[in-house]
């Protein structure tokens, strides 16, 4: 495994030669763990709003929340590229807002930003890239537009949608996006997009033909009560956590914890090398 720091250039070069593995993380410890496991990209997703903060959608997520998550992940100094997700209303209101907020992501430790939307945000992508900030696009299902499109529904099933998604990808590439996430879109459409653009595509729920895959960490660890249908559960951490904490509660109630190695007496001070 190549252990050098992943850059945007490295990610672009992976198209056609090596699949890209991207996963979300929202804090220092998780970032260290997923980085140690060899991911290429850590996405500090606005999915934090749902899986960490318990909101029902990503709409309530603010820049302040995202900056806290981004800086926490960045302190892990991961080898993987750190991408900060631009939350709802951080880039839609004006080009100035978009560039400013993308800049705040970089100042907090992100090395690129992700923006939901296709050709309608090409000017925004262009302006952010002009400011020197790499942009990852996000097409197909855009959860931030769920109210407009009728919920979290499959994309690319009609000819109109298919053409729109392919056009969105072309426009994002032209605007300077270095990669494009394709969410919950028919696999054949994602395949066509992948062939159509020269930048890497990264699928979530859009089949095997993209240049990479991304999933939400809580979904693969079995921590999400209602994971999306396309997520694969690699572990059942919910059961493990419940069992560990249950044991702790039981031991506290029975007076079994703490045991002798977990506490000290004042008269041990003279003999302890760690006392000050
Ligand atoms: O916020 C997020 O986690 C995302 C992924 C689902 C791509 O945008």
pLDDT single digits (tens) 71-106: 999 999 999 999 999 999 999 999 999 999 999 999
| Atom 4 of ligand 1: nearest residue by CA position | 45
Cβ partners under 8 Å of residue 29, min gap 6: 76
The one catalytic residue in 183, 192, 261, 268 is 183
Per-residue pLDDT of the chain (276 residues; tens, 9 = 90+): 557 999 999 999 999 999 999 999 999 999 999 999 999 999 999 999 999 999 999 999 999 999 999 999 999 999 999 999 999 999 999 999 999 999 999 999 999 999 999 999 999 999 999 999 999 999 999 999 999 998 999 999 999 999 999 999 999 999 999 999 999 999 999 999 999 999 999 999 999 999 999 999 999 999 999 999 999 999 999 999 999 999 999 999 999 999 999 999 999 876 565 555
Q: Give distance in angstroms: CA of 45 to centre of ligand 1.
A: 5
Give the DSSP letter string of 41-69. EEEE-TTHHHHTT--SSSTT--HHHHHHH
Q: Tell me: domain 8-235, CATH 3.20.20.60, correct? A: yes
Mutate to test the pocket of ligand 1, among 20, 24, 137 (most ligand atoms within 8 A of CB): 24
Please choose, from the candidates 219, 222, 216, the residue with its C-alpha nearest in 3D space to the C-alpha of residue 235.
Answer: 222
| Atom 3 of ligand 1: nearest residue by CA position | 45
The whole-angstrom separation of Cα 53 and Cα 21 is 25
> What is the structure's pLDDT at 225?
94
> What is the structure's pLDDT at 269?
76
Cβ–Cβ under 8 Å, residues 103 and 96 = no
Q: Give distance in angstroms: CA of 132 to centre of ligand 1.
A: 23
H helices of 116-232, in order, are 122-130, 146-149, 159-175, 187-196, 217-220
> What is the structure's pLDDT at 96?
98
Q: Which atom of ligand 1 is nearest to the CA of 45?
A: 1
Bridge partners (DSSP) of residue 116 are 138
> What is the structure's pLDDT at 273?
58
| Atom 8 of ligand 1: nearest residue by CA position | 45
Residues of the chain with CATH 3.20.20.60: 8-235
pTM to 2 decimal places: 0.96
Mutate to test the pocket of ligand 1, among 53, 85, 110, 221 (most ligand atoms within 8 A of CB): 85
Q: Is 183 a catalytic residue?
A: yes
> What is the structure's pLDDT at 143?
96
């Amino acid at each position: 495994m190549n252990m050098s720091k992943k850059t945007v250039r490295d990610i672009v070069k992976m198209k056609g030669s090596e699949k890209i593995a991207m996963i979300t993380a929202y804090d220092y410890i998780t970032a260290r763990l997923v980085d140690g496991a060899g991911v290429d990209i850590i996405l500090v997703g606005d999915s934090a709003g749902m899986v960490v903060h318990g909101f029902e959608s990503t709409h309530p997520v603010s820049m302040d929340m995202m900056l806290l998550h981004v800086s926490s992940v960045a302190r892990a100094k991961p080898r993987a590229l750190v991408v900060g997700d631009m939350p709802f209303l951080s880039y839609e209101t004006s080009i100035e807002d978009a560039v400013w907020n993308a800049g705040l992501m970089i100042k907090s430790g992100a090395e690129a930003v992700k923006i939901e939307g296709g050709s309608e945000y090409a000017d925004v992508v262009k302006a952010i890239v002009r400011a020197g900030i790499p942009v990852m696009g996000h097409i197909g299902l855009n959860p931030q537009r769920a109210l407009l499109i009728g919920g979290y529904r499959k994309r690319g099933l009609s000819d109109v949608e298919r053409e729109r998604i392919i056009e969105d990808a072309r426009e994002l590439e032209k605007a300077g996006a270095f990669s494009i996430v394709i969410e919950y879109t028919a696999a054949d459409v994602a395949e066509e997009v992948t062939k159509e653009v020269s930048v890497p595509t990264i699928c979530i729920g859009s089949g095997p033909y993209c240049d990479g895959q991304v999933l939400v960490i809580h979904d693969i660890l079995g921590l999400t009560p209602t994971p999306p249908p396309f997520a694969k559960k690699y572990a059942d951490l919910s059961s493990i956590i419940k069992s560990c904490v249950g044991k702790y509660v039981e031991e506290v109630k029975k007076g079994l914890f703490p045991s002798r190695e977990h506490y000290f007496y004042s008269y041990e001070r003279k003999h302890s090398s760690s006392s000050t």
